[in-house]
């Protein structure tokens, strides 16, 4: 909503919206000229692989920009409504924490007898009180570490109520106020929980003491040999003034600390030890207004850094600061005391005024004098007048006008005659106060008329009008309450923004100090400005298995006195929704909003609860809650509709009897042994003419990796052959492909499958997964279906890679990291340029930003004789620039001069010269390079290996037409086909180079026929390789092949499957790993059987058993379906996982940690903790932990899993 009254915009003036992700990268940009009365409508899509966290939306109109933070998260909506009221607004340690907890289902039924729990986390916060600007209420000598405590744990009563009565005894050593972050959870009988998080101030002391320092010099320092007046204030926990006797002020000399010494200085030792004696001590009493002051003068020979500390002996709170005192070299008369400026204290008769009122302004005045009263706002002086003062007190009437909204500042300078002696005030007093003004004409009051209750799947009407028949433009949003409650969302009202309090924009100064000499000292304005605490950063939850109820309509225009009607339809949802209308009228600068919460329910309702995913072989209890809301519903029948593979043990139908409106639970036992993929479970309840259904989609997935077995054969010219294939592993996970090739076998298929399935999504691996696919169609005889699949893989890869780019064009190793990764930026950019050459479209601004980054990096590169392979990284960077058509010849020549140029770098630099058209230089460098690559200790820097470097050299030979290419290609093909481990980078590069080789040479034709299980196909192609998926049945299969040409054909069959849960093998090389489970008190527990609803912590420790530093380790801990990861990163409660990782990725059923490992010894172990909840009844599989170094096969550890149960 745009307000351009002060500065009219031309018609159809563009408005630009840009959204940047948490690392500052642009993800969305739209320029719009369409608007309805200055309402601009932007619908912004998000994608599932977006980074989660805090995004920023920026709107630019002409030269003005406006921003707002957006949280983008993956969440699961509440089904319970949690209301909690504490008796006091500020919690204190002397009064017990008392309050009421009330929980209902969103649709209104009481949450009877459910388990509930309230956790509180206390953290230190900046202490400030209203009206005490520039006072410090925090003690620099005390520190407080976060503390967590359970405030309530128990069951609600029949009505869903509970009373909270807890004694808080926390913060004995707090520097000041603490923030209490509360997490309230209510557990359904089915095991799922709803949550509410909020913060409240907590006062560990009954009263607080504040210290206000005089305005010092630069950097808060003071001159020696001068008197400085410090003010003290004492207030209650609520911020009301309180009188206090015998405050102790102590001044300590602290050792001087230069700016470079940023180590933590421990001030607490000064206060507690006898060794440091205070230099000065005062005892001070505050008056009835809680105010007092003291003077401090430090002699020049004692200059240095001081700690000033004030203690309130009654409450125990203290405050203080450190300050530097040094000599005033500039002033000729240091003898003058710099007294605190005497402020004129005055007030208006009310805090808030409406337009048309008269404000009465009263200020104390001497016998005679004049006052300049000026009324000013954020940009100008509205009016001013000179007033003759009356003896004792002067009152002025000020009429309140509409131009004073939302607030003005009243500024008074009071002058006394020069020679007056009747009071000891200075000649000129000065003060400023704000005055709040509301203009009722600027408020719109939209009215919403809609049913108080809506049935699921019913159409309903929303009528919108304005209470006083004003015209307005508005939008409507209908959103389920379960989503809004997660962050306690408030319905927005533009009035609060457009009429927010403005800061004073008028500067005032005068020259009395220089002229009169009766008063010397600088003058400061006094007023308080409020701020708001920004909520804890948003964090990511899990994949959505629910379809959120969100409808957004508008904008619409409502004429004077009109009512508009909108038709909407409610999906099959049970709970509550909130309808929100946000309205504005640009012509009258009036704004407003309205909201209405509506329950969505019917006489008979059913809800079911399931984990977020399941694994085959697990047994899960399906809890079903049935609500009979009216007397007429007596007998209810329940039937389950299950997709194939899920079996119900016992009856698939059950019946219930209700004597009165009530809620009852029914349990079904499900077995998912045969299920795989996406399954659906639907519960249908019928009774007395009413029907209700609840449908859940769930993934059933075996977390074991795929294993492949290979069969290699050779088929002679014009021969026929039969090969046997036997399946293994879990029934239904089997697949087989056959590859025919006139080239020596290189297991293209198997290697590529490994890349596409490799689970970690860092920059290097995302690139490796799609890069070779660019050349598939050139090498293989692909089916049309397969071609489409490859194309969409590449397109989504390009989109995902765009998300790694940072604002400066470089690319980070993990999404969301702030530093660019040198090698991977070149590697990913290389892929993007090759993809663009093949006709794919790159993300907005990607290429230009990337080229700018690469150019900058190549200019900044300096040869190093210490770091191996930085020359290869530079050569690769120069190659990618040449490929992109922006060769940097100066940097290429500089690299060529480097005496210790490695063999790898020579090959790559030769390719760069060839692409830049410098064939002569290219050949000269190639001549000095060889293909006998040596393993290097420093390959990790480029994620490389000997094989990868060979493949890079092959790519160069293809570009330069080098005859040695054929021999090198044979070596690489052999390495690809033997079953040795290769890292993702090596695999991808080898496939890529071979792909380019086949394209360049053109293959030998294939002509053959094969048949298996009744399916036969003839392949006749000019390509050298053909690959087909073949249908196999469980058990043994036979394939028969006829070769119709006179050439040798290599046949390779890849037979894949997943091992059953519990059949996986434990492995260990280089690392050891252990997972310990503890309860919240820190006692070890056995997780074989847990009670439903129990919270516990998994602590995973990994140790390096070797003396080497290991880079890029991935640790994956998968948890059983029946446990929920308690993730509160996006709420006011903050984080619950403790991680020493570079990047932590929290998913549905697992947490992935990515980090580097130090050599064994004191720092060779890393520990991670995750908070879990045993949520769902049943028997589940807990897979073993797995960790691996992603580029080094010497480090891998995988534990065996175990079966666990969650019981009542």
Query: Tell me, what's the pLDDT at 336?
Result: 39
Q: How far apart are CA 852 and CA 859, in angstroms?
A: 11
Give the pLDDT confidence score for residue 418 in this predicted structure.
61
Low-confidence ranges of the chain (pLDDT < 50): 256-265, 273-275, 332-341, 513-544
Structural domain 80-203, CATH architecture: Sandwich (2.60)
Tell whether omega for the bond before 86 is within 30 degrees of 0, i.e. cis.
no
Distance CA 300, CA 288 (A): 36
Q: 1137-1157: string of b/e by CB count within 10 Å (b at 16+)?
A: bebebbbbbbbbbbbbbbbeb
Tell me if 412 sits within 8 A of 326, measured CB to CB: no
Q: Candidates 3.30.70.1890, 2.30.42.10, 2.60.40.690, 3.40.190.150; correct CATH number of 1067-1207?
A: 2.60.40.690
CA angle 1037, 1038, 1039 (to 5 degrees): 130
Is the bond into 406 cis (omega within 30 degrees of 0)? yes
Residue 1187's closest CA among 1124, 1120, 1116?
A: 1116
pLDDT of residue 754: 76
Short-list 210, 195, 393, CA closest to 286? 210
Tell me the sheet residues that pair with 639: 653, 684
**Residues 184, 101 contacting (CB under 8 angstroms):** yes
Say which CATH class 347-441 falls into. mainly beta
Strand order in the sheet with 91-92: 91-92, 193-203, 178-187, 115-124, 147-155
Answer yes or no: are the C-beta atoms of 365 and 414 closer than 8 Å: yes
Architecture of the 604-696 domain: Sandwich (2.60)
How high is the pLDDT of residue 528? 21
DSSP-assigned letter for residue 935: -
Strands ordered across the beta sheet of 358-365:
347-348, 358-365, 392-399
Answer yes or no: CATH 2.60.40.730 is held by domain 443-502+546-600.
Answer: yes
- Asked if 601 and 107 count as a contact pair (C-beta separation under 8 A), the reply is yes
pLDDT in tens, 56-80: 999 999 888 888 888 777 677 899 9
Residue keyed to tokens 């605190």: 340
> Which residues, 6 or more positions from 275, have their beta carbon under 8 angstroms from its beta carbon?
none
Name the CATH architecture for the domain at 743-1002: Alpha/alpha barrel (1.50)
Whole-angstrom distance, CA of residue 1122 vs CA of residue 623: 13
Distance of alpha carbon 409 from alpha carbon 407, whole angstroms: 7
3 state SS of 821: coil
Nearest to 1047, CA basis, from 784, 815, 820, 716:
716
Q: What is the per-residue pLDDT for 48?
A: 66
53-61 β-sheet, strand order = 26-32, 15-20, 53-61, 64-72
Contacts of 368 (CB under 8 A, 6+ apart): 388, 389, 391, 416, 417, 420
Could you tell me how far CA 341 lies from the centroid of its own chain? 47
State the Cα–Cα distance between residues 512 and 491, nearest whole angstrom.
51
Three-state DSSP at 375 gives strand
Residue 1041 to residue 902: CA distance in whole angstroms: 48
Closest CA to 1057 of 749, 616, 730, 754: 730
β-pairing, 347-348 vs 358-365, is antiparallel
Measured CA to CA, the distance from residue 830 to residue 832 in angstroms comes to: 6
User: 207-326: what fold?
Assistant: Immunoglobulin-like (2.60.40)
Which residues sit opposite 208 in a β-bridge? 235
CA-CA distance, 302 to 304, in Å (whole number)? 7
CA distance 27 to 1113: 29
pLDDT digits (tens, 9 = 90+) for 698-709: 888 888 877 778
Query: Where do the structural domains in the chain lie, given as residue ranges?
Result: 15-62, 80-203, 207-326, 347-441, 443-502+546-600, 604-696, 743-1002, 1067-1207
State the pTM of this model.
0.67
What backbone phi and psi angles, to 5 degrees, belong to 856? -60, -45
Decide: 1023 and 999 in contact? Cβ < 8 Å: no
| 870: its two tokens | 């930085």
Fold agreement between 207-326 and 743-1002: no
Strand partners, 28: 19
- In terms of DSSP bridges, do strands 619-628 and 91-92 run parallel, antiparallel, or are they unpaired? unpaired
Question: 1045: exposed, middle or buried (C-beta count within 10 Å: 0-12, 13-18, 19+)?
Answer: middle
Q: What is the largest CA-CA distance in the chain?
A: 125
Q: How far apart are CA 407 and CA 378, in angstroms?
A: 9
Q: Distance between CA atoms of 450 and 53, rounded to whole angstroms?
A: 35
Residue 445 and residue 594 in contact, taking contact as beta carbons nearer than 8 Å: yes
């Amino acid at each position: 909503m745009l307000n351009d009254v002060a500065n009219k915009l031309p018609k159809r003036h563009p408005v630009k919206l840009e959204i940047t992700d948490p690392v500052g990268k642009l993800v969305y940009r739209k320029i719009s000229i369409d608007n309805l009365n200055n309402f601009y409508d932007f619908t912004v899509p998000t994608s599932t692989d977006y980074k989660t966290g805090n995004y920023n939306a920026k709107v630019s109109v002409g030269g003005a920009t406006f921003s707002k933070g957006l949280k983008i998260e993956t969440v699961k909506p509440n089904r319970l409504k949690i209301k909690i009221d504490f008796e006091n607004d500020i919690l204190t340690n002397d009064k017990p924490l008392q309050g009421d907890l009330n929980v209902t289902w969103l649709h209104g039924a009481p949450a009877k007898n459910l388990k509930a729990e309230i956790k509180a986390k206390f953290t230190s916060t900046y202490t400030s009180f209203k009206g005490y600007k520039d006072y410090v209420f925090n003690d620099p000598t005390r520190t407080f570490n976060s503390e967590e405590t359970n405030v309530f744990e128990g069951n609600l009563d029949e009505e869903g109520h509970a009373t909270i009565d807890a004694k808080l005894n926390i913060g004995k050593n707090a520097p000041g106020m603490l923030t209490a972050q509360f997490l309230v959870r209510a557990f359904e009988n089915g095991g799922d929980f709803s949550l509410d998080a909020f913060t409240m101030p907590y006062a560990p002391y009954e009263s607080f003491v504040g210290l206000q320092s005089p305005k010092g010099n630069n950097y808060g320092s003071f001159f020696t040999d001068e008197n400085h007046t410090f003010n003290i204030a004492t207030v209650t926990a609520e911020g009301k003034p309180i009188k206090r006797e015998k405050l102790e002020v102590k001044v300590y000399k602290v050792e001087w600390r230069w700016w470079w010494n940023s180590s933590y200085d421990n001030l607490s030792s000064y206060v507690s030890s006898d060794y440091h004696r205070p230099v000065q001590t005062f005892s001070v009493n505050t008056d009835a207004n809680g105010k007092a002051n003291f003077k401090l003068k430090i002699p020049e020979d004692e200059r240095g850094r001081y700690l000033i500390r004030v203690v309130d002996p009654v409450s125990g709170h203290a405050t203080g600061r450190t300050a530097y005192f040094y000599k005033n070299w500039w002033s000729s008369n240091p003898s003058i005391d710099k007294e605190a400026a005497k402020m004129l204290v005055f007030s208006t008769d009310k805090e808030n005024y409406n337009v048309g009122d008269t404000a009465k302004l009263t200020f104390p005045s001497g016998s005679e004098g004049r006052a300049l009263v000026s009324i000013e706002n954020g940009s100008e002086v509205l009016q001013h007048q000179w007033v003759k003062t009356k003896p004792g007190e002067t009152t002025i009437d000020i009429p309140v006008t509409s131009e004073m909204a939302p607030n003005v500042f009243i500024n008074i300078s009071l002058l006394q005659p020069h020679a007056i002696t009747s009071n000891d005030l200075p000649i000129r007093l000065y003060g400023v106060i704000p005055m709040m003004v509301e203009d009722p004409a600027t408020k719109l009051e939209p009215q919403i008329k809609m049913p108080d209750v809506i049935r699921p799947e019913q159409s309903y009407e929303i009528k919108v009008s304005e209470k006083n028949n004003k015209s307005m433009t508005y939008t409507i949003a209908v959103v389920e309450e379960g989503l809004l409650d997660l962050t306690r969302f408030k319905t927005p009202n533009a009035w609060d923004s457009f009429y927010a309090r403005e800061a004073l924009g008028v500067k005032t100064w005068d020259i009395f100090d220089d002229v009169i000499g009766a008063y010397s000292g600088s003058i400061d304005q006094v007023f308080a400005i409020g701020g708001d605490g920004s909520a804890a950063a948003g964090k990511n939850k899990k994949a959505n298995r629910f379809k959120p109820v969100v409808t957004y309509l508008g904008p619409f225009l409502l004429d004077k006195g009109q009512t508009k009607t909108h038709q909407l339809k409610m999906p099959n949802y049970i709970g509550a929704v909130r309808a929100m209308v946000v309205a504005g009228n640009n012509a009258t600068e009036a704004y407003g909003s309205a909201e209405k919460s509506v329950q969505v329910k019917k006489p008979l309702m059913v809800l079911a609860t399931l984990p977020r995913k399941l694994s085959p072989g697990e047994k899960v209890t399906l809890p079903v809650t049935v609500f009979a809301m009216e007397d007429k519903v007596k007998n209810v029948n329940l039937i389950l509709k299950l997709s194939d593979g899920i079996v119900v043990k016992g009856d698939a139908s059950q019946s219930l009897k209700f004597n009165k409106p009530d809620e009852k639970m029914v349990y079904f036992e499900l077995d998912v042994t045969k299920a795989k993929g996406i399954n659906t479970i639907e519960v249908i309840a019928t009774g007395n003419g009413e029907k209700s259904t609840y449908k859940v989609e769930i993934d059933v997935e075996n977390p074991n990796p795929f294993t492949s077995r290979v069969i290699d054969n050779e088929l002679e010219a014009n021969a026929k052959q039969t090969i046997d294939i036997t399946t293994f592993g879990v029934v239904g996970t089997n697949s087989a492909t056959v590859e025919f090739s006139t080239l020596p076998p290189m297991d293209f298929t198997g290697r590529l499958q490994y890349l596409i399935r490799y689970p970690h999504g860092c920059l290097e691996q995302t690139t490796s997964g799609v890069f070779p696919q660019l050349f598939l169609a050139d090498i293989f005889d692909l089916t049309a279906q397969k071609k489409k699949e490859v194309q969409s893989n590449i397109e989504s890869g390009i989109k995902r890679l765009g998300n790694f780019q940072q604002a400066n064009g470089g690319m980070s190793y993990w999404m969301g990291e702030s530093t660019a990764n040198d090698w991977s930026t070149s590697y990913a950019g290389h892929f993007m340029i090759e993809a663009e050459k093949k006709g794919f479209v790159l993300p907005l601004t990607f290429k230009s930003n990337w080229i700018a980054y690469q150019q900058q990096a190549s200019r900044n590169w300096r040869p190093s004789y210490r770091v191996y392979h930085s020359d290869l990284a530079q050569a690769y960077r120069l190659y990618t620039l040449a490929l992109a058509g922006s060769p940097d010849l100066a940097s290429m020549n500089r690299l060529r001069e480097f005496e210790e140029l490695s063999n790898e770098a020579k090959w790559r630099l030769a390719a760069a010269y060839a692409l830049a058209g410098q064939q002569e230089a290219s050949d000269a460098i190639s001549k000095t390079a060889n293909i006998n690559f040596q393993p290097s200790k420093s390959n990790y820097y480029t994620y490389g290996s000997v094989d990868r470097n060979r493949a890079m050299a092959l790519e160069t030979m293809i570009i330069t037409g080098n005859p040695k290419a054929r021999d090198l290609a044979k070596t690489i093909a052999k390495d690809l086909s033997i079953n040795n481990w290769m890292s993702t980078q090596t695999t991808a590069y080898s496939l890529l180079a071979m792909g380019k080789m086949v394209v360049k040479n053109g293959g030998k034709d294939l002509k053959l026929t094969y048949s298996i299980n009744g399916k036969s196909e003839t392949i006749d192609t000019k390509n050298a390789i053909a690959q087909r998926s073949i249908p196999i049945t469980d058990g043994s299969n036979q394939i028969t092949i006829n070769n119709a040409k006179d050439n040798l054909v290599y046949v390779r069959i890849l037979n894949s499957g997943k091992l059953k849960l519990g059949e996986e093998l434990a492995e260990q090389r280089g690392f050891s790993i252990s997972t310990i489970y503890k309860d919240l008190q820190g006692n070890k527990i056995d997780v074989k059987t847990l009670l439903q609803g129990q919270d516990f912590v998994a602590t995973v420790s990994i140790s390096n058993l070797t003396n080497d530093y290991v880079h890029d380790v991935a640790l994956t801990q998968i948890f059983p379906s029946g446990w929920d990861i308690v993730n509160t990163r996006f709420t006011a409660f903050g984080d619950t996982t403790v991680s020493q990782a570079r990047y932590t990725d929290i998913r549905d059923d697992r947490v992935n940690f990515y980090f580097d490992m130090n050599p064994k010894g004191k720092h060779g172990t890393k520990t991670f903790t995750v908070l879990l909840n045993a949520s769902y009844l049943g028997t589940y599989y807990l897979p073993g932990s797995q960790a691996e170094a992603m580029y080094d096969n010497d480090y891998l550890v995988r534990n065996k899993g175990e079966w666990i149960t969650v019981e009542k």
